[in-house]
Amino acid sequence: VVIGGDAGGMSAASQARRRRADLEIVAFERGDYTSYSACGIPYWVGGVVDSRDRLIARTPEVHRERFDIDVRLRHEVEGIDLDKRTVAVGGTNEPFDHLVIATGAVPIRPDLPGIDAEGIYGIQTLNDGEAVRRALDEDRPQRAVVVGGGYIGLEMAEAFVNRGLQVALVDLNPQPMSTLDADMGALVADALEEIGVELHRNERVEGFETRDGRLTAVATSEHTFPADIVVLGLGSRPNSALARDAGIGVGVTGGIRTDLRMRTDAEHVWAAGDCVETFHRISRRAVAFALGTHANKQGRVAGINIGGGYATFRGVVGTAVSKICSVEVARTGLGEQEAERAGFDPVTVSVESSTRAGYFPGAAPITVKMIAERRSGRLLGAQIVGKEGAAKRIDVVATALWNEMTVHEIEGMDLSYAPPFSPVWDPVLIAARKAAEAVEQT
């Protein structure tokens, strides 16, 4: 039995099926869709992707017909009984030999006056995306306020601009995108302002004004913004309540604890995706990162193991990319303060370079920040913001980080060069060289 019909759950189900034709697999999904790309929601809302169906990788019919998985939509699992090995769903108890919990995350919804008003949306599932899209098409809102400057909030702000709305973004932090250090976040802020997003930093949302149950304005510590639609971009937390209520171990992050093979501490119960916590290979701490890349891998690992194979998920280094307006934004590892909190003595360098050879048409600025451990030179993290070439350059750095390389080793790496792709010294190599000099200076 699988709870949750998206990345984590359906990866587990299809991998188990590949190895065990005899398994009876039932997947419960409380929403209307399976195997969809929540990551594509801002692009569909903003009109970059023209149809909702393009976000659906596998429909329930495909799961049923091609993989013999009994998908039951609009079925919410309400409880897990570990002793009886059943889940409670739709007034009946469904028995299981193996259970996969892949319930995703819940968007954070602060307990503020007016929060339940019509017109305020969190974005987590395709059903949520559909609700926003319907509101834009039917109610024709003019003014949007995005609360919170995480990457989902920023992608939604851009989507609203694309749809012709006037957009204000309110964030408690000094810069949007607080997963980056503030100096790098400032570059993202510039890109947002360039397309007309009104940014309000260091400002706290205190409540929502309403008329007849409908949103009319957002009240902050400094202003009152008239608003027809609000999107909450305040992050999410693991949706682990079902597991916790059943007595399954949940860690300090609120995510379900698993071992390397995605087994929970309850026999025959597995978990994958945004609902679990995982191990950060650099800080060596438990973290809960809601990312599709992890959900797919973890689901696959659980499914292979359920099917009788052997697979492990060996943690994360905190790699993430997004495109915010005109800039690509990427990070991996620890930021400056995160490195300090993890107990390292970090040295940071920033370099400004070019995405292609300076003379080559289309060459654009790119900023690379690298964080390394003082003296040892061990790479701890990197952040890149640039018009192009930021996103995938981070993967080189993530690979180095995964393998615990030093900036001295990276500096000499054989990275490719031709004028349309980079200057002769790739910006990553320049940053590593500067970092190698800096770690030796003290």
Ligand X SMILES: Cc1cc2nc3c(=O)[nH]c(=O)nc-3n(C[C@H](O)[C@H](O)[C@H](O)COP(=O)(O)OP(=O)(O)OC[C@H]3O[C@@H](n4cnc5c(N)ncnc54)[C@H](O)[C@@H]3O)c2cc1C
* CA–CA dist 200, 388 (Å, integer): 26
Least Cβ distance, residue 49 to ligand X (angstroms): 12
Total binding residues toward ligand X, as defined by CB under 6 A:
35
Q: Which of 148, 150, 273, 318 binds ligand X (CB under 6 A)?
A: 273
Select the span of 28-36, 168-176, 249-257, 419-427 touching ligand X (CB under 6 A).
28-36
Q: Which of 103, 220, 258, 355 binds ligand X (CB under 6 A)?
A: 103
Site string for ligand X, 151-190 (x = CB under 6 A): -x--------------------------------------
Terminal Cα distance for the chain, rounded: 57
Residue 150 DSSP symbol:
S
* CB-based contacts of 244, cutoff 8 Å, min separation 6: 250
**Nearest Cα to Cα of residue 126 among 11, 67, 43:** 43
Q: Which of 12, 16, 38, 229 binds ligand X (CB under 6 A)?
A: 38
Of 39, 62, 82, 172, which residue is the catalytic one? Answer: 39
**Alpha helices, DSSP H, located in 117-181:** 126-139, 151-162
Question: Got the DSSP string for 341-355?
Answer: HTT--EEEEEEEEES
Least Cβ distance, residue 353 to ligand X (angstroms): 25
Least Cβ distance, residue 130 to ligand X (angstroms): 12
Q: Which of 13, 35, 55, 104 binds ligand X (CB under 6 A)?
A: 104
351 binds ligand X (CB under 6 A): no
* CB-based contacts of 249, cutoff 8 Å, min separation 6: 256, 257, 264, 265, 266
Q: Which of 76, 94, 183, 209 binds ligand X (CB under 6 A)?
A: 76
Hey, what long-range contacts does 112-116 have (CB within 8 A, 24 or more apart)?
112/205, 112/206, 112/207, 112/208, 113/206, 113/207, 113/208, 114/207, 114/208, 114/209, 114/210, 114/215, 115/207, 115/208
* CA–CA dist 186, 198 (Å, integer): 14
Least Cβ distance, residue 363 to ligand X (angstroms): 26
* CA–CA dist 310, 257 (Å, integer): 19
Q: Which of 13, 14, 25, 29 binds ligand X (CB under 6 A)?
A: 29
The full length of the chain comes to 442
Q: Is 39 a catalytic residue?
A: yes
- Residue with smaller CB distance to ligand X, 226 or 292: 292
Q: Which of 2, 9, 313, 405 binds ligand X (CB under 6 A)?
A: 9
- Residue with smaller CB distance to ligand X, 295 or 334: 295
Least Cβ distance, residue 41 to ligand X (angstroms): 4
307 binds ligand X (CB under 6 A): no
* CB-based contacts of 270, cutoff 8 Å, min separation 6: 12, 98, 99, 100, 101, 258, 262, 263, 264, 302, 305, 306
274 binds ligand X (CB under 6 A): yes
Under 8 Å between Cβ of 374 and 345: yes
Least Cβ distance, residue 344 to ligand X (angstroms): 26
State which H helix or E strand residue 190 sits in: helix 182-194
Furthest C-alpha separation in the chain: 70
CA-angle at 135, arms to 129 and 141, nearest 5°: 125
What single-letter amino acid sits at 288? A
305 binds ligand X (CB under 6 A): no
Least Cβ distance, residue 318 to ligand X (angstroms): 12
Least Cβ distance, residue 125 to ligand X (angstroms): 5
Restricting to residues 308-327, name those near ligand X by CB under 6 A.
Answer: 322
Under 8 Å between Cβ of 161 and 167: yes
Q: Which of 15, 35, 124, 383 binds ligand X (CB under 6 A)?
A: 124
Select the span of 36-44, 221-229, 306-314, 395-403 touching ligand X (CB under 6 A).
36-44
Under 8 Å between Cβ of 428 and 368: yes
3-state secondary structure of 35: coil
Site string for ligand X, 238-267 (x = CB under 6 A): -x--x-------------------------
Give contact residues for ligand X (rule: CB under 6 A). 3-9, 28-31, 38-39, 41-42, 76-77, 102-105, 123-125, 152, 239, 242, 273-274, 290-293, 295, 322
Q: Which residues are catalytic?
A: 39
